[in-house]
Chains A and B, each alone.
Chain A
Amino acid sequence: MMSTLLEAFRMVLQTDVIIAIVLSSIYGLVVGSLPGLSATMATALLVPVTFYLSPIAAIATIISASAMAIFSGDIPGALLRIPGTPASAAYTDEAYAMTRKGQPELALGICVWFSALGGIAGTLSLMALAPPLAEMALQFSTFEYFWLAFLGLMCATMVARSSPVKAIASMLIGLLVSCVGIENPAGTPRFTFGLTDLLSGIEPIPALVGVFAVSEVMRAMLTPEPPKLPYRRFGSILAGQLALTKQYVAPQVRGNIVGIIIGVLPGAGADMAAWVSYSMSKRFSKEPEKFGTGHPEGLIEAGASNNASLASGWVPSLLFGIPGDTITAIAIGVLYMKGLNPGPTLFTERASSMYALYIIFIIANIIMIPLGILMIRIAAMVLRAPRAAVMPVIIVLCAVGAFATGNNLFAVLTVAAFGAIGYVMERFGYPFAAMVLGIVMGTMVEQNFVTSLIKSDGSILPFFNRPVAAVLAAMTIAALLWPAAAWIASLLSAKRVPKAGAA
């Protein structure tokens, strides 16, 4: 234990890892603060860079860039009322109201301080949850893995902020995409349409770059340029934060716990955590009437929640290869490339790497405070960068980055196609995070489904009569039936309302 910990410190304190943490933190802060560039996009564009780093440095860049980007999305939210990342959208109004009251320092201070605390709470949950779950997961067979993967897919559709039917449809499209190629248990080429480039299947990373980066650039083509941020002098950013920490203990704890739970749920990430926490905060608050007028409570709870979800999103990703959110969906690809294949054995055989990962999380959340304050002070300058200068570079980076993942030009076409698909889906209300999950997990679902069926000789009984499998199956079926139940309930209540009105 002690020697593993020392080994982990030795791994993190390498020069290349430290440089990677600092540079990717700055990158994350800048990308996150620019409206229209999300934390997931920051991660996706980092992937080609991680190829050329050591495994620990590669993970460090992803962790620090994503943590910083989730925080710095709050900056334009508070100062301009435009969320820098979707994760900040839930409480943008609240933060902006504080700025209008003349307290921008307080709003931004809350964002940076409670983001860091939330991130650390999330890391602690990762440290506490992962090892015992790994112990349990060592006994899983393909039946359990099938249900787990299926449950993961269902969770993603349940928590999507959209129609559950559309979310399931998106997820199925993702699964269909993962069918392409010869990477299936039978090794038969499927849906390749005679193209050799499709034989190896559709690579997840170019597809994710398209969905998260190109579709954002496409959206920027039709939306107006955000207004320029006026230069202003800020007072002390951290003043009064300790008092707030003491005053609002319950919202913080609640925010952290909700964030951790939502992070662990597959597919649901920081943006979902922020929405849920903000509305929970309002419901449980003693002074709900103050919400929306620049009241710190909701900001504290939701700001902590979205950063907490970031770390706990790694729990299912590291243990089962099931992404906890869209950022870890990309990170899983990097883990495989770096020989850190997700699975319970990661915690027994590569324990030092896992400790290193925890340490990086803690470091990233601590340096978030000084770097974040610096970023707040120069935000007016960074946000002055016109979109017409930033977005074109992103297109080039998408092309080069996709090419670099396999020195294959076909990947560039994949990026273009998935950019268009992502844009169309978003426009018609299909949550593309569900599709991404389908793409990433498709092979795993099919592999475990088919091997289980072959093992049981076509019988479905073993899917239910192993104890853990039975529990997972029950949860999955409940998740599947939940939208139907909710729909019927809403139909019934809709019928009752006009009657009551008539009476």
Chain B
Amino acid sequence: MLADRLTGLFMVVLGALAAWGGSRLPPVPGQQIGPEVFPMVVGIGLVLCGALIALGVGHQFEEEAEADLAKITSEFEADQGLSHQDMPLWRQAFVLVPPLLLVFYYLAVDRIGFLPTAAVIVFCASLALGGRVRLALPMAIAAPLFVNMIFVKLLRVPLPSGFLPLPWIGLP
């Protein structure tokens, strides 16, 4: 329920910001309905919904749905003796690995090229998922080459080659 309070309040703030931001948009001369109407309607709706969520309205629907799913998933997780609730905080932070690796791709690919960037991503993600170096290292070499072959050779997507110009695999 605390989570509902927090996310509900977040929705209220987000909706208020959207409505306020929308109201400041310049109107179109000679027209009553400008670009500000839609964001304001949506923003006000969000404020209302956020308030309802924070007050706990509609929570029992969720409990019913969760009960159905929990029958299947929780028993399995209990069998494995693992549930993410009792993981240490640093281990839970692993959840951020995939988006951070994508940000890394954004920053690095034009500088060092596709193959090294993808190799770093595959290697790190594989280790984070509990893979051994014995698996992660060959994957880090093979997977980028494979993706490169599909996208550069077959689909002709211009992936940057960086400092590894390899004309024989389609990189300039």
Contacts and interface: CB of A to CB of B under 8 A. Distances in A.
Contact of A163 (B26, B61, B102): B61
Nearest to A419: B99
B65 to A, nearest CB: 4
A224 B77 contact: yes
Contacts of A396: 118, 121-122, 143-144, 147
Given A172-B46, A388-B130, A430-B7, A449 B106 contact: no
Nearest to B6: A428
Contact of A407 (B25, B71, B131, B158): B158
B99 A417 contact: yes
Contacts of B50: 169
A176 B157 contact: no
A165 B37 CA distance: 22
B167 interface: no
B102 A398 contact: yes
B154 A52 contact: yes
Nearest to A219: B95
A82 B75 CA distance: 11
B19 to A, nearest CB: 10
Most interface-central of B42, B59, B123, B132 (chain A CB within 10 A): B42
Contacts of B46: 169, 172-173, 176
Most interface-central of A172, A179, A490 (chain B CB within 10 A): A172
Interface string B46-76: 1001101100011111100110110110001
Given A165-B53, A166-B62, A179-B42, A188 B28 contact: yes
B169 interface: no
Contact of B57 (A165, A391, A392, A409): A165
A413 to B, nearest CB: 5
A82 B102 contact: no
Give the interface SS of chain A, mostly helix, strand, loop or mixed: helix
B45 interface: yes
Given A165-B57, A166-B58, A168-B45, A392 B122 contact: yes
Interface in A157-188: 161-166, 168-169, 172-173, 175-176, 179, 184-188
Contacts of B155: 48-49, 51-52, 404
Given A395-B98, A450-B37, A400 B58 contact: no
A415 B58 contact: no
A407 B151 CA distance: 12
A393 B52 CA distance: 41
B34 interface: yes
B39 A186 contact: no
Contacts of B118: 396, 399-400
B89 interface: no
Given A221-B94, A400-B147, A409-B110, A454 B136 contact: no
A188 B34 CA distance: 9
A299 to B, nearest CB: 15
Contact of A275 (B26, B68, B131): B68
Nearest to A424: B7
Most interface-central of A173, A396, A430 (chain B CB within 10 A): A396
Given A172-B42, A217-B98, A191 B58 contact: no
A92 interface: yes
A176 B39 CA distance: 7
A389 B95 contact: no
Given A169-B11, A391-B129, A222 B57 contact: no
Contacts of B45: 168, 172
A420 B99 contact: yes
B98 to A, nearest CB: 5
B39 A392 contact: no
A164 B61 CA distance: 8
B164 interface: no
Interface string B84-107: 100100001011111111110110
A423 interface: yes
A89 interface: yes
Nearest to A391: B129
A7 B151 CA distance: 32
A250 interface: no
Contacts of B110: 409
7 contacts: A93-B71, A218-B98, A222-B87, A224-B77, A396-B122, A416-B102, A449-B38
Given A191-B21, A416-B100, A449-B37, 17 more contacts: A48-B157, A161-B68, A172-B46, A172-B49, A175-B42, A184-B38, A186-B34, A190-B25, A218-B95, A221-B95, A222-B87, A388-B127, A389-B139, A396-B122, A399-B121, A400-B157, A409-B110
